């Protein structure tokens, strides 16, 4: 995959700089520009034409085989070890970076907001001009996915669906005793279901930091990860957002289940959320705004008499979050599907996840993952939507 | 746990600053100072007497219940939303941080090397004096553990040993077919053993990014994570370094196994590594240096005729890494047990992990985790050391 970085080149030109410099790792913008990441901070320069890396000897071989960079230099090509023996590792690193930049005829660079101040101030002492790029142009560029990136997300979503199926299987296979779900003689808890989800994802090459399996009142707080016994006849919100370890791309999906009997109240909220979900999907196409899609959800909920933040910014029940977000190397990235969401572009991958929350009733959320197309969307989610089991 | 931050207070005084400022997350120094971490960057100020947090409304409740901070403020106490509506989120965040600092009578701060340049330059425009603290005083402070931290590492090590036992069980339970290990009818691979390790750790509340299960020539490269079929009569290096998800503390242990018959060459290398390991342990005590401990290992290896980096800095076989490292919130932290390692202090937790590498023979490494004491060490590792099974 060769991303189109022409807008980054333009941003560098517009600011009269010679390049864009990274000194980090585990940073999706940096990974995107050079097609490489490492366990420790490394230097990446984009000079308007291509990417150039400066890495330790330890990372050199992997950088050569994995990265998209046009050139890869080792610290020692700029005499890092000799400098370190003389002046200590910190001064040596700065002098090495300065020599690398001089070698690429770079005297002034844009850097990301979170570029380390120690490096910025140190390079300024070496006479370099460092200014922060505040518009997030790379984050904007990478919101539009190449076909290869779409395949990466699709693959992560297949693993995600296998994990959701595993969770559903556990809940469906439970018996009900005194209103609690029981599996293999033990009370079935959020923790137990999350463990099964994690193991399934692990088996499929995915990692995840967090999963939500939240029942009843827990599920009424969209940020609650859920804990404790799962109850019959209550809504159980399951939200899984794994990262494929090989590609680094994420998937994201939420389903809500009731084991036993859903009350009329829960059923009604599920139906209206399903309707809001479909209204949002119907609003998705290149040229529509994220705000339009969000409004479509608010329209459905408000017409049905539910509170939304659009209608009442102080409400703590009802539809109390945005409609969705972009996803890719980051689990949350551009575009935004909320009141500030700008124009959607073909190739963006977004979540559509309306929901209703009330501690007295529980939480309901339905989330799919779709690619924006010129005339609508392609849904990457194949998992069915069924409230009761 | 209340860490002793008096040396940080001294460093602030010495530099004539009013405090030490963080704007990050997932940063062990920041977590250590305020006893709190969050999924997104947040502001933490240490003013020489205590820690003060500035967090979003979303994180406020958890910060109140989990952190050790003396005060916790929400962004909105400093009118973040109104500022954002007027000037956009970036300018609003900077003005909010400036107001928070003014509220704490802070006009000049030290910041870590990796403090974001966007925030540093932005606060400078607000008239604040920002300078980088380059000595890493917090990293030094947290190398000495409190009793509570030692218990956290001990707990992670118990999970680690259960995972090692699981790996050993798989290898021991394999049959040998055409020189390859076979388990349940399938060739037993590094990947399969790593999966079993990860699942066991997950069940015990631990996370891990990487594990090493490296056989034969793979194991002769200390950075190779290992892949493919495991072979009989070859050395299999297993190095596991999990993080306890609840406490954030790590453990670390390596064992080397041969399934089948170990050659005399492998056996000899194992014995000498065991000897080097014991020599290192014997050298550990408060007041000895990390360099002393490393020298003890080099002495044993060199006397037995093996190459070391001390003897030959360009060797690619023999003992080709340091003897160990500190461990805690980071898997690699101070102190260093290598030629640059300074004086050890009671309460530091370190690994002792000598090893021998040669692509023709394979890799051997033995690693325990110990606490430095006034007169020696306490070994947190209970796992036996046996080459063959």
Q: Helices A80-87 & A89-103, crossing angle to 10 degrees?
A: 140
Q: Which of A113, A195, A203 sits opposite B118 (nearest CB)?
A: A113
- Whether B107 and B12 map to the same domain: the answer is yes
- Whether B11 and B35 map to the same domain: the answer is yes
Residue contact A118–B130, C-beta within 8 A? no
pLDDT of residue A3: 86
Residue A384 lies in a domain: no
Q: What is the pLDDT of residues A63-106, one digit of tens each?
A: 999 999 999 999 999 999 999 999 999 999 999 999 999 999 99
Residue B343 lies in a domain: yes
Average pLDDT of span B204-211: 88
Q: Are A245 and A360 in contact (CB under 8 A)?
A: no
- Whether B334 and B202 map to the same domain: the answer is yes
Q: Which of A133, A85, A134, A379 is nearest to A252 (CA)?
A: A379
- Whether A120 and A157 map to the same domain: the answer is no
As a residue count, chain B comes to 389
The domain boundary, picked from B100, B120, B141, lies at B141
Chain A positions in Cβ-Cβ contact with residue B130 (cut-off 8 Å): 117
Q: What is the CATH number of the domain that holds B97?
A: 3.40.350.10
Nearest chain A residue to B124 by CA distance is A117
Q: Are B226 and B363 in contact (CB under 8 A)?
A: no
Average pLDDT of span B54-75: 93
- Whether B175 and B209 map to the same domain: the answer is yes
CA distance A117 to chain B (A): 5
Q: Is the dihedral of CA A25, A27, A28, A29 positive or negative?
A: negative
Nearest chain A residue to B208 by CA distance is A207
Its domain, for residue A305, covers 147-379
Looking only at the bridges linking them, the beta strands covering A235-240 and A253-258 are: antiparallel
pLDDT of residue B206: 94
Looking only at the bridges linking them, the beta strands covering B108-111 and B129-132 are: parallel
Looking only at the bridges linking them, the beta strands covering B206-207 and B243-244 are: antiparallel
| H or E stretch at B337 | strand B333-337
Residue contact A118–B115, C-beta within 8 A? yes
Q: What does the alpha-carbon distance between residue A208 and residue A202 come to, in Å, rounded to a whole number?
A: 9
Task: Name every residue whose Cβ is closer than 8 Å to that of residue A39 and which is 6 or more positions away in sequence.
Answer: A25
Residue ranges in chain A modelled with pLDDT below 70: 1
- Whether B89 and B155 map to the same domain: the answer is no
Residue B385 lies in a domain: no
- Whether B100 and B212 map to the same domain: the answer is no
pLDDT of residue B223: 84
pLDDT of residue A1: 61
Backbone phi and psi for residue A302, each to the nearest 5 degrees, phi listed first? -65, -40
Residue B387 lies in a domain: no
Residue B384 lies in a domain: no
Task: Name every residue whose Cβ is closer than 8 Å to that of residue A137 and which is 6 or more positions away in sequence.
Answer: A7, A8, A11
A–B interface: beta-carbon pairs under 8 A:
63
Chain B positions in Cβ-Cβ contact with residue A132 (cut-off 8 Å): 117-118, 121
Q: Which of B58, B132, B223 sits opposite A121 (nearest CB)?
A: B132
- Whether A169 and A136 map to the same domain: the answer is no
pLDDT of residue B67: 95
> Confidence class of residue B382 from pLDDT cuts 50, 70 and 90?
very high
Q: What is the CATH number of the domain that holds B262?
A: 3.90.230.10
Residue A60 lies in a domain: yes
pLDDT of residue A210: 87
> Confidence class of residue B1 from pLDDT cuts 50, 70 and 90?
low
Q: What does the alpha-carbon distance between residue A326 and residue A342 come to, in Å, rounded to a whole number?
A: 12
Q: Which of B245, B268, B242 is nearest to B369 (CA)?
A: B242
The domain boundary, picked from A141, A174, A205, lies at A141
Q: What does the alpha-carbon distance between residue A107 and residue A125 come to, in Å, rounded to a whole number?
A: 12
Residue to substitute from A43, A60, A84, A118, interface B, most B β-carbons within 10 A: A118
Task: Name every residue whose Cβ is closer than 8 Å to that of residue B272 and which is 6 or more positions away in sequence.
Answer: B300, B301, B304, B306, B356
Q: What does the alpha-carbon distance between residue B317 and residue A290 come to, in Å, rounded to a whole number?
A: 58
Tokens 């939240």 appear where?
A214
pLDDT of residue B120: 98
Q: What does the alpha-carbon distance between residue A143 and residue A29 come to, in Å, rounded to a whole number?
A: 11
Does residue B13 have a pLDDT over 90?
A: yes
- Whether B103 and B218 map to the same domain: the answer is no
Q: What does the alpha-carbon distance between residue B23 and residue B135 come to, in Å, rounded to a whole number?
A: 18
Q: Which of B205, B241, B160, B242 is nearest to A195 (CA)?
A: B205
Does residue B209 have a pLDDT over 80?
A: no
Tokens 């490292």 appear where?
B325
| H or E stretch at A108 | strand A108-111
Of B90 and A58, the structure prediction assigns the larger pLDDT to B90
Of B1 and A44, the structure prediction assigns the larger pLDDT to A44
pLDDT of residue A347: 98
User: If interface means Cβ-Cβ distance under 8 Å, which residues of chain A face chain B?
Assistant: 41, 58, 90, 111-121, 130, 132, 134, 195, 198-199, 202-203, 207, 209, 223
- Whether A228 and A314 map to the same domain: the answer is yes
pLDDT of residue A39: 85
Chain B positions in Cβ-Cβ contact with residue A202 (cut-off 8 Å): 195, 198-199, 202
A294: three-class secondary structure by DSSP: helix
Residue contact B132–A112, C-beta within 8 A? no
Q: What is the pLDDT of residues B236-255, one digit of tens each?
A: 999 999 999 999 999 999 99
Residue A294 lies in a domain: yes
Q: What is the pLDDT of residues B280-303, one digit of tens each?
A: 999 999 999 999 999 999 999 999
Residue A347: left if φ>0, alpha if ψ -120 to 50, beta else—which one? left
- Whether A326 and A343 map to the same domain: the answer is yes
- Whether B160 and B135 map to the same domain: the answer is no
Total structural domains in chain A?
2
Question: What is the DSSP annotation of B206-255?
Answer: EE-S-EEEEEGGGGGSTT----SB-BTTSEEEEEE--EETTT--B--EEE
The domain boundary, picked from A141, A175, A193, lies at A141
B265: three-class secondary structure by DSSP: helix
Q: Which two tokens stand for residue B301?
A: 């290896």
Residue A389 lies in a domain: no
């Amino acid at each position: 995959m060769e991303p189109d970085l022409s807008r980054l080149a333009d941003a560098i030109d517009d600011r009269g700089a010679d390049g864009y410099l990274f000194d980090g790792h585990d940073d999706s913008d940096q990974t995107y520009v050079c097609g490489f990441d490492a366990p420790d901070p490394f230097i990446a320069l984009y000079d308007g034409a291509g990417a150039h890396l400066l890495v330790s000897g330890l990372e050199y071989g992997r950088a050569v085989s994995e990265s998209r960079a046009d050139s890869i230099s080792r610290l020692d090509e700029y005499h890092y070890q000799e400098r370190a023996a003389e002046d200590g590792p910190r001064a040596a690193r700065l002098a090495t970076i300065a020599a690398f930049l001089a070698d690429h005829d770079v005297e002034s660079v844009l850097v990301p907001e979170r570029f380390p101040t120690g490096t910025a101030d140190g390079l300024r002492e070496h006479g370099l001009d460092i200014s922060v790029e505040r518009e997030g142009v790379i984050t904007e560029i990478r919101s539009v996915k190449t076909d290869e990136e779409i395949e990466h997300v699709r693959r992560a979503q297949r693993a995600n669906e296998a994990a959701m199926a595993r969770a559903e299987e556990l809940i469906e296979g439970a018996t009900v005793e005194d209103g609690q779900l029981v599996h293999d003689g033990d009370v079935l808890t959020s923790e137990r279901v999350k463990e099964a989800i994690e193991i399934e994802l692990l088996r499929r090459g995915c990692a995840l930091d967090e999963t939500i399996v939240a029942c009843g009142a827990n599920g009424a707080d969209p940020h609650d990860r859920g804990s404790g016994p799962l109850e019959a006849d209550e809504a159980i919100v399951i939200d899984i957002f794994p990262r494929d370890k090989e590609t680094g791309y994420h998937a994201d999906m939420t389903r809500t289940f009731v084991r036993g009997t859903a009350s009329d109240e829960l059923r009604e909220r599920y139906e209206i959320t399903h309707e809001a979900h479909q209204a949002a999907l119907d609003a998705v196409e290149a040229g529509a705004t994220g705000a339009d899609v969000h409004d479509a959800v608010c329209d459905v909920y408000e017409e049905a008499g539910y509170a939304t933040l659009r209608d009442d910014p102080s409400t703590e029940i009802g539809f109390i979050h945005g409609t969705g977000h972009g996803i890719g190397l980051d689990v949350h990235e551009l575009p935004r599907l909320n009141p500030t969401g700008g124009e959607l572009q073909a190739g963006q991958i977004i979540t559509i996840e309306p929901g209703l929350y009330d501690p007295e009733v529980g939480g309901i959320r339905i989330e799919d993952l779709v690619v924006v197309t010129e005339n609508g969307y392609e849904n990457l989610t194949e998992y069915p939507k069924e409230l009761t089991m």
